[in-house]
Structure 1
Amino acid sequence: MPELPEVETVRRGLAPALTGRRIARVDLRRPDLRFPFPPDFAMRIEGRRIEELGRRAKYLLLHLEGGLSLVVHLGMSGSLRVEEAIAGADSFHYERAKDPRHDHVIMNLDDGKSMTYNDPRRFGFMNLVARDEMDASPMFRDLGPEPMGAAFDAACLARALAGRQTPLKAALLDQRVVAGLGNIYVCEALNRARLSPQRIAATLARRDGTAGQRAERLVHAVKEVLAEAIEAGGSSLRDYVRSDGTLGMFQHAFRVYDRLDAPCPTPGCRGTVRRIVQAGRSTFYCPECQR
């Protein structure tokens, strides 16, 4: 499933082509994705101008004129591409690697281009939310802070983890603690912070609930790995591609994820990467330096 860096990469790729454009016509190829489309979905967004593209956690947000926001979740295999409706291409042209049978939503824009949502597994979905009611909507009301934002600091993390007896990795995957983190980047951040995924989450807070050095290291590692992943265009493992059809490159910089038995890259560490299963998910880490 695309995580925060992948969704942010898609947002940055689409924004120049979509911002200011008007949705002229919507072609729904089926009545649902993971969930049914909202009632009168096409009619409610046709004719509206796309004012801004945003992101919250793993959700892509198309803020439309009139205070309505189109919320897009890519699920496991969803992708968005912008292409010319006539012969010719620009930097956002998508060289078809996706089966057009899975083109489920096509939005024709007022400049002759179209944006297509392709999703072979149909785990993604689209919804419409009033922009001024977004924070209170069921999708967003329980989300934690954005990890790249100033609000996410060591004190914030310590407060969220205080008293939690679950493994640290499981706590970080809880979207109520911090929004947008997924399996790959939690594994990578924990290795950089030299913290075991099996450590009890509450140990990152002192007895009085304040942040210790472990929380400081982890927040720094989370922000660092996300920034590097976004710069690299995200990670392409199975279905994910950028909005221009190219692959993300951060998978070539993985320290531990999917690197079973490889030497730990931490300077001075002689350990090797191990894999365990936590809550049905693969966890990669170095038992030698991650404590």
Structure 2
Amino acid sequence: MPELPEVEVTRRSVAPRLEGARVRAVRTGAALRWPLGTEPASLVGLRIGPLQRRGKYIWLPLLDDAGAVQGGLLLHLGMSGSLALLDAAPAPGKHEHFDLVTDAGTLRLTDPRRFGAVVWSPALDAGMAARLLARLGHEPFDPALTPALLRERLQRRSVPIKTALLAGDIVVGAGNIYACEALFAAGIDPRTPANTLSLARCEKLLAAVRDTLARALELGGSTLRDFRDAHGMSGAFQDQAGVYGREGQPCHRCGSTVQRLVQGQRSTFFCAKCQRR
């Protein structure tokens, strides 16, 4: 599943060309998770404003010629979706469910499993967009997210810390691979009850989450199956993973065997020697 780094890499790969582009046509294919929410023809003629990301969503504001916001499109890549910005778009295939045709190229959503979404809303803080974003936690690089605040929020959770990170309502962006890697970097066992972490351990964890996501952004995200950015480039973070996907292999730090367990139907990889409860 594309996580925050992959979504941000995608946003960065399309934003320079799309911002200021005029919408020429909109094509919808097979139904996605939610309906578009407006007539496609109502978007034609509008211009695309500065693209934003919130969690794993991309927001494309739409402006009239006077620069006034006329709503926007909230995009989610689902489990297996990807965006491409095409100069000359070929006829869509069966997994290509949305085209935003602009004078800067065609933004095409490909989503084999159709868990993704393209939804119109009157604003980022109104309509369907507001409902979808309401439960999201802090952005990981938000200065307002301090170790003390993280500990305060975790005090309410008795679930394992890995589960608390994946929930996304405390901090967004720590998807499965990045939660595993951040916990390894912080030396915290993924089974540790979230409400037992001290302030010092929360400080280490928050720093590890930020460092892990920053490295993932530098490396173009992770390509475990088929993720590509809008230019078709794969991510390389998975090649530098300390524990993720390395079950049975020696830990890079101590030489112990990397272990795997299942938490919330997701695989968790960790080193029992380096990571303590």
- The two structures have a TM-score, normalised by structure 1, of 0.88
Instruction: Tell me the SS of whatever aligns to 2:107.
Output: strand
Paired residue type of 1:235: S
Q: Which residue of 2 aligns with 1:91?
A: none
Give, in angstroms, the shift of residue 67 of structure 1: 4.2
Aligned residue for 1:93?
A: none
Note the alpha carbon deviations across 1:13-39, whole angstroms, 9 max, x for none.
Answer: 001110110111111123x11223214
d(CA) in 2 for partners of 1:259, 1:270: 12
Partner of residue 208, structure 2: 221
1:154 aligns with 2:157: no
1:16 and 2:16 correspond: yes
Matches of 1:44 and 1:152, distance apart in 2: 39
Which residue number corresponds to residue 271 of structure 2? 286
Kindly report which structure 2 residues correspond to 1:54-73, keeping only aligned pairs within 5 A, or say none.
54-65=52-63, 66-73=69-76
Residue 166 of structure 2 corresponds to 173
Measure the CA separation in 1 of the matches of 2:133 and 2:190. Answer: 26
Does the alignment pair 1:133 with 2:120? no
Alignment of 1:206-217 (within 5 A): 212-217=199-204
- For residues 111-260 of structure 1, the aligned pairs below 5 Å read 111=104, 113-131=105-123, 133-134=125-126, 137-205=130-198, 212-260=199-247
CA contact (8 A) 1:191 1:285 kept: yes
Name the CA distance, whole Å, in 1 between partners of 2:157 and 2:27: 47
After superposition, the Cα gap between the structure-2 partners of 1:35 and 1:15, relative to the gap in structure 1 and judged at 3 Å, is same
Q: Which ranges of structure 2 fall in alignment gaps of 5 or more residues? A: 64-68
Q: Please tell me whether the aligned partners of residues 260 and 273 of structure 1 are also in contact (alpha carbons under 8 angstroms).
A: yes
C-alpha displacement at 1:105, in angstroms?
A: 1.2
How many Å separate the matches in 2 of 1:181 and 1:224? 11
Give the equivalent residue in structure 2 for 1:34. 33
Amino acid at match of 2:138: P
What residue identity is the alignment partner of 1:261? Answer: G
Residue 85 (structure 1) shift:
2.5
Deviations 1:154-206 (A, max 9, x none): 1121111013211010011111111222111000000000000000101124x
Which blocks of at least 5 consecutive residues in structure 1 are unaligned? 87-95, 206-211
Match of 1:78 among 52, 76, 81: 81
Range 189-198 or range 18-27, more displaced:
18-27
**8 Å Cα contact 1:103-1:116 kept in structure 2:** yes
8 Å CA contact 2:34–2:119 kept in 1: the answer is no
Q: 1:245 corresponds to which letter in structure 2?
A: G
* 1:134 and 1:140 in contact (8 A); partners too: no
* Equivalent AA in structure 1 for residue 163 of structure 2: A
C-alpha distance in 1 between matches for 2:110 and 2:145: 33
Q: Distance in 1 between matches of 2:110 and 2:255?
A: 44
Shift of 1:152: 1.9
CA distance in 2, matches of 1:199, 1:236: 28
Q: Secondary structure at the match of 1:224?
A: helix
Aligned pairs, how many?
Answer: 269
Identity of aligned residues (%): 43
Partner SS state of residue 179, structure 2 = helix
Contact 2:35-2:119 within 8 A present in 1 as well: no
Q: Which amino acid aligns with 2:144?
A: A
The RMSD of aligned alpha carbons is: 1.8
Q: Is the 8 A contact 1:106 1:117 kept in 2?
A: yes
Corresponding residue number in structure 2 for 1:277: 262
Letter in 1 for 2:121: V
Q: Secondary structure in 1 aligned to 2:206?
A: helix
